Chains A and B, each alone.
Chain A
Amino acid sequence: MKDPLVDEQHNQNPPSKRYIEIPVPNPKLYISNSISTSKYNFFTFLPKNLFLQFSKSANIYFLIIAVLQSIPQISVTGGIPNILMPLSFVLTVSAIKDLLEDLKRKKSDRDENYRLSCKWNEGEWIKEKWLNLKVGDIIRVEKDECFPADLVILTSSENKGIAYIETKNLDGETNLKHKLAHKYTQAFFQNEKKFDRITGGVECEDPNAMIYQFNGILILGETAISLSSEQFLLRGCSLKNTDWIIGIAVYTGHQTKIMLNSSKARSKTSQLESQMNREIVYIFLMQLVLCAVCSVYYTTWYLEYRDTTDIYLRLNENSSTSDTMVQFVIQFFSWMLIFTNFVPISLLVTLEMVRFMQAGFISKDLKMYYESNDIPTGVQSSSLNEELGQINYVFSDKTGTLTRNVMEFRKMSIHGMSFGTSEHFTGPNKIPHVDFIDENFDSNDKVYYDFIIHMAICHTVIGEVKNGIIEFKASSPDELALVNAAKFFGIEFIGRDSDQNIQLMIQGEKVSVAVMNVLEFTSDRKRMSVVVRMPDGRIKLLCKGADTILQPRMLPSDVWDETWKLLENFANEGLRTLVLAERELSESEYCTWNDHYNDALRDILNREQRMAEVGEMIETHLELVGATAIEDMLQEKVPQTIKTLREAGIKVWVLTGDKIETAINIAFSCNLISHDMIRIIIESRTGPEVKKELENGLLTLKAQQTKTFALVISGEALIRAMAKDLVGIFIKVAERCSVVVCCRVSPQQKADVVKLVRDCKPNARTLSIGDGANDVNMITAAHVGIGIAGLEGQQAVRASDYSVGQFCYLQRLLFVHGRECYRRNANLICYNFYKNVLLVIPLFYYGMFSAYSGQLIYNLWTYQLFNIIFAAMPIVIYAVFDKEIPYFELETIPTYYKLGLQGELFSTSIFWFWILEAFCQGLVIVLLSLFTLSWSTGDRNYGQMENMWVSAILIFALIVVFVNLKIIAFSYSHYWFSILIIILSTGSFFICTIMITEYFPIISWLDNYDSRGSSTRIVYNPNTYSGIIIAIFFGFFLKPIYDAYISIKAMMKKDTVAPEDSFLKTEEKDDIGELLPDEIILAEEAIKAYNKPHTGFAFSGEAGHTPQITDPGFFL
């Protein structure tokens, strides 16, 4: 546990103490164990939500407009603030959406709060919901359950009070850790009845975020017992390999360490949305410019014509408007009100609605549903849907994300021969952790006996018989695989006796092997050994470890070369290898050494170093026994997914808390690294060394520009590399490498790496994916955070924006949903601007014919209903249902995703093209409507002329028809209901207009006096129809034929059909420059160093987790 999730600042002040009196006199003293991540409750919803909504500038803007509309001098709506109608609509829809999302959060909180744990209640254990647990409660946690609160362990089912816990959820480390109930409490509470009569208390620190620190005193009656982190169990961890523990709750709910560490999720905005916000500003500026143009024109006109038009306009008489400046200001604000709808009022709410529905479809996608764990894809923040279509970097955790954290024994090498095939064992008889098929291997052959018994003896696994079945308890999954493999080959490890001697079952016979010494595994030694007395009385040292470490300690062997080659083969398949070796010791040799060993054991201060030294003494002259190859099982389809992601131009970085060897191994098995890649490994611990390594790496990059590179860097080196002076060169190297693997990084470092990439590449979009609490920082730091939803542990999922059941669903999530959401939402945004510009711009054009006097020719209500009814739904349907390309093609062909990354789907110029289109179409609409209807009569028998309002209604009708036709024009797929909605939207305008102009009574607030009868006039005027057809032709039919013509012309010139992806731009990279002459030799040396073959050693497990085996004095 080297990577505290702790902020430095916490260490500054010593925390103050709390004393929990038991029984707790007043339960209200401490907060309850319920957790809440929801934003609102029944009472705060309305004010809080309104406040949040009005903190958006667009809503404030419309509120101001409503105020302006109420001022008679400038109001173009007769003093009615009718913008409030669409505004309140927008606010309501948005509020409903917020409410639904909050209910979802409430539900997930409820799920967590309603989990059950056992609590001691007046003489018996009762099931209690988590939220009802209180500080001071005695809680019993069963095997594989999670701890409901931060507990102090009192007693455990295991002998001597040991308990194994898994902290994967907290720090991502996969080996089990042990906790230990204090001797006194372990003995004291053997009788459960004692729980009833506890009097005393726990003194401990006030709740704080320091995860690995705990100090306290437990007072039981007269006895004071000091507590340390050994006795402290964290919420979020789970109990493993231990039947039950009983503990006392000391921190609950939001005061638990894990909750104090969970940072409040920062609200994330997609790039598209920030671009949209910028565009709103552009459009608003454009509106201001147009207002200025109109008012300047009008003011000039006014100055020139106010006298000559006095006869009918009497502009001079209105005293308040005589001043030129006042005139200008009033006119300016009038035009502001007329142009209000330039800013698309319904854009945000439409976007939010659409994302909400898109999120629904994402979570309903059966192809992203993980059947075996019953986990569908979850969407926590749908506002990032489109961001999924723009990802440049994927940062992935390893354990639980890429791998299953299950090791399976696959192959081995004995006497230079390889056993085990790449076939997989299927069938009901499969024993766990072994997947070995080879007909050529006969495990009864005495030749292999040494090898198999080595696997059965050389480990620190504990075996226990439970209900007649032997259960292995191992802190290292590798050893678990080896022990199981030995069992598979006929030598079964059945447990240890009280002296920790190993009991084996060989062909039905019980055999005891005395374990005399254990030399533990550490990441420096990269090997572990046991000294045993074999059944035949010989003393043997059995050792397993890394090939590179063992080779110099070995006697020459004639099969070493073959074995080495096999190791390379294993490694290229992504298997983790261990070399097994042994040495026979004479009694005298052993006795001498054993004294050294015992000396070392007694040296409490330098024990680790001393043990390493005594290990060094005896671990020589080893004989090769063989090598094992274990598969660190990947999650489903991980290699294919990574390959496809990379083909789409996404860079995949692996950030893991695991060791460098393990990480490299996984990188091999995931197809991230292949043996033809040059691996630049940076693992030094000091600044200058790291600098040297980075420079070497850069030289190599320069020398071998055609090769592909992988960068592997350790956490400690990373700290140096990210320091100010080296960060430049680090980024240069990292960017050039197609794969980056960071090992042994702390949760904070994971986040720092993500932030570094974000800072250095401001345009790149990052995605983090992980499954544990140790990934939370990285998940929140990235643009998009994805949590792998496992069976246990919700930390990552809670902090994430999306959660999936499996890593491989990432491909569909990005390629299908992300890409399509991005394309559709980009179009939705453009379309919303388009339709509003098209709605408003005719008023500007009409100004040319009305001296820019501020004539609003639309009916007030139809004008405001436009965004709510006439042009609201079709774009929603589009954005939810449109498919450019069948989903299976999108999912499998990375090229389509690449298009999005290269800005082919959306860009500022595309946006302005939409606006330009609206400007042109608006002009066509205004001119055609005005002149077809107002120029001459269309009435054969009565010769009556049409008035302004008839033209105005045609203008508006054409706008509605255009914006609805536009949807059809840019949709790729049409459904019966999408067409129906388009017809209904258009139809609703006609119905609404006919009602207003023909049937409703004439009322001044309905604004239907002037336009009375216009609908009938339009229908009976034959010129209307030719005008509409021509307008539609100019609006929609010029482009397709022009495009077709241009593309055919292009084909004529090229004579050949352009290859499908020729238009894909090549990736831009910073030039790293050529190699200088004097650097060539240096580079060659560096390359030589990197060209070490990969032999795949990896071992998971650290010293100190099985103290009862390794430390004879442990329980004393």
Chain B
Amino acid sequence: MDAEKSNKPGNSALKQQKLKSWSFKMSKIVLGFFYIFCGSFFLIIGSVIVSESNSVIEHKLRYDNVDACKADWKTRPLCTIKLELDEKMPSPVFVYYEITNMYQNHRRYNKNRDIKQLMGKTQSKNDIDSYCDPVKTMGDLGLIVNNYYLNAKSVANPCGLMAKTFFNDTYTINPITSGIAEVKISFDELAWETDKDEKFKNNDNMHLQWTDVENQHFMVWMSTAGLPTFKKLWGKIKHDLPKGQYAITIQNNYDISDFDGEKAIIVSTTSGLGGKMSFLGILCLIVGGISFLGGSAVVGLGFYLKKIKGISID
């Protein structure tokens, strides 16, 4: 047989499957120590998270069931609730609204908008037909507008269910006994940068729109919440709120009664890790505990077997 034509396979490490490899297998004792180490790490992290979370001052006031807001809210929407601070809330203080039992993430709901329209493009009725049904025209919105640009049959801009059900309660906070003159709530940093830069643009011809899509409250609303109980940022107070009493005046417009929803206003500070959320820290502590105990048990029993009974465990 010709040497060149030999069928002999090559003798490379790859072809003979002799490539260098290693295995992560470790002895049980080492494994135990590894878990003790990880456990300690988790316990520390967990404590940090819990203490951070505890440092957040958060006041949540449900107001849809408050008598003042409940009675005849459709005709007299203004109502006032009291906020009692027993310690100072350092700036920044954030104002959120919370709605429960509302499925913003329902398939039909969160896709019910036309993205080109939201980005500032003029869309015809045909363009928006497949996205915005059943809220396509001004008539569908239920808004009675009749001017040169808009009538009941003209294209709703923005169209769709999401825009139509835009949350429109407003809040003002007035100090009662806290030593400051007023509480200034600013609305300029509510939405994400990308929302402002790319996702929401007014049409060149603003008259075609029934509302300002560059309004940050609108952007926040259009950012679909992941859970049926959700908080959305409403405003930011850039100064401290001293200890004392405050009156929150609510323009109570938004109807949640049909779907058994609840509305609440939340006033909260933040920590290094954001808002109040203790479950992450608790989970960390649990994980750390399991890991530490498991590791200790393995190490302990392993040494016991080795020392007392002379059995090697690997």
Contacts and interface: CB of A to CB of B under 8 A. Distances in A.
Contact of B302 (A307, A851, A1048): A1048
Interface stretch (B11-19, B171-179, B203-211, B240-248): B11-19
A947 B224 contact: yes
A947 B301 CA distance: 48
Contacts of B10: 364
Contacts of A951: 226
B2 to A, nearest CB: 10
Contact of A1013 (B193, B290, B313): B193
Nearest to A941: B92
B165 to A, nearest CB: 4
Interface in A719-733: none
A935 B49 contact: no
A311 B99 CA distance: 14
Contacts of A366: 8-9, 11, 15-16
B199 A936 contact: no
A883 B198 contact: no
Interface in B118-150: 119, 130, 133-135
B19 A881 contact: yes
B274 A311 contact: no
B42 to A, nearest CB: 7
Interface in A920-935: 928, 930-935
Contact of B35 (A310, A941, A1030, A1041): A1041
B258 A1027 contact: no
Contacts of B280: 931-932, 1023, 1026-1027, 1030
Interface string B68-93: 00000000000000000000000010
B115 A1004 contact: yes
A1023 B20 CA distance: 39
Contacts of A1044: 28, 31-32, 298
B275 A849 contact: no
Interface stretch (A367-375, A512-520, A547-555, A744-752): A367-375
Interface string B12-42: 0001110111111100100110010010001
A67 interface: no
A1045 B226 contact: no
Contacts of A1004: 115-116
Interface string A22-50: 00000000000000000000000000000
Contacts of A1057: 311
B35 to A, nearest CB: 5
Chain B interface size, under 10 / 10 to 19 / 20 to 34 / 35 or more: 35 or more
A326 interface: no
A949 interface: yes
Interface in B261-279: 268, 270-277, 279
A1033 B230 contact: no
Interface in A496-539: none
A376 B22 CA distance: 29
A792 interface: no
B10 to A, nearest CB: 7
B274 A850 contact: no
Contact of A312 (B25, B102, B236, B297): B102
A940 B28 CA distance: 42
Given A313-B109, A371-B8, A850-B107, A1038 B290 contact: yes
Interface string A937-956: 11111111111111110000
A975 B107 contact: no
A87 interface: no
A932 B273 CA distance: 11
B103 A309 contact: yes
Contacts of B130: 72
A947 B225 contact: yes
A952 B224 CA distance: 11
A853 B103 contact: yes
Contact of A855 (B1, B35, B107, B116): B107
Contact of A1012 (B22, B25, B199): B199
B227 interface: yes
Given A973-B22, A1022-B272, A313 B236 contact: no
B274 A936 contact: yes
A931 to B, nearest CB: 7
B233 A945 contact: yes
B224 A315 contact: no
Nearest to B58: A936
A940 B93 CA distance: 10
Contacts of B268: 943
Centre residue among A946, A1016, A1030 by max chain B CB count within 10 A: A1030
Nearest to B193: A1013
A1070 interface: no
Interface in B183-208: 189-195, 198-199
Contact of A1051 (B42, B284, B313): B313
Given A850-B103, A937-B274, A1026-B280, A374 B6 contact: yes
Given A854-B107, A1048-B305, A937 B1 contact: no
A647 interface: no
A312 B225 CA distance: 14
A1030 B284 contact: yes
Given A312-B102, A1013-B194, A1023-B273, A934 B225 contact: yes
27 contacts: A308-B259, A310-B258, A311-B165, A361-B15, A364-B9, A366-B8, A371-B8, A851-B106, A851-B228, A854-B107, A935-B227, A938-B273, A939-B270, A943-B233, A943-B236, A974-B21, A974-B22, A976-B20, A1002-B119, A1002-B199, A1022-B273, A1026-B280, A1029-B42, A1037-B35, A1041-B35, A1044-B31, A1045-B301
- Enumerate the 5 nearest inter-chain pairs by beta-carbon distance, A residue then B residue, closest first: A1013-B194, A936-B275, A943-B94, A934-B226, A973-B21
